Amino acid sequence: MTTNTSTDNGTWGGTGLEAGTVPDIDAAVAAAEATRTRLDFAKAAPKVFRAIVGLDAAARNGLDPALVELVQIRASHLNHCAYCLHMHTNDARKAGESEDRLHMVPVWREARHFFSEREQAALALTEAVTLVSGGGVPDDVYADAAAHFDEGELAQLLALIMTINTWNRVALATGKVAGTDERRPAGR
């Protein structure tokens, strides 16, 4: 006989939900957002916010939209940014990305057959730039990316990676709540 010794009395993650029940995600998101106390970055620093939005738009220019979302999803995984991960996973779905590929992004090296060589080069570069404190971008990773992207595309890709890392840090520092998307008006 097994005895439940957890302090949550058999509820799901201590939420009060019985194990096996599905939480009301919309209610949970609304409750989390209601308790958020950190600053609204867009209102507190509107010029800086608009500059990042402009950099984001410029960085995407000329890159395949599916590749853009894969890069943003991978960087958001690495940075543990649930807000951006939720947003970009939804954007990828809306753009027609398959659930299989979305599930494989964090383990793309073990599931290379899901991604083109170009996408693999972009994902490897995303990891190297995002985790740059681990010793910089290795020459082989950079060379592989340079073999799959011309100079202009490579510059755009690097700008995209740098931009999503900036957005991840803004979201994490200001306590953005996964499940919200400030790009859309309330109620949409």
- Domains contained in the chain, CATH given: 41-173 (1.20.1290.10)
- Res 134: pLDDT: 83
- Res 27: pLDDT: 64
Tokens of 68: 């853009």
Average pLDDT across each block of 10 residues of the chain; the chain has 188 residues. List them in order: 43 49 61 69 93 96 96 98 94 94 97 97 99 94 98 98 97 83 53
State how far the Cα of 96 lies from the Cα of 82, in Å rounded to an integer.
21
Which one, of 14, 174, 185, lies nearest residue 81 by Cα? 174
- Res 38: pLDDT: 75
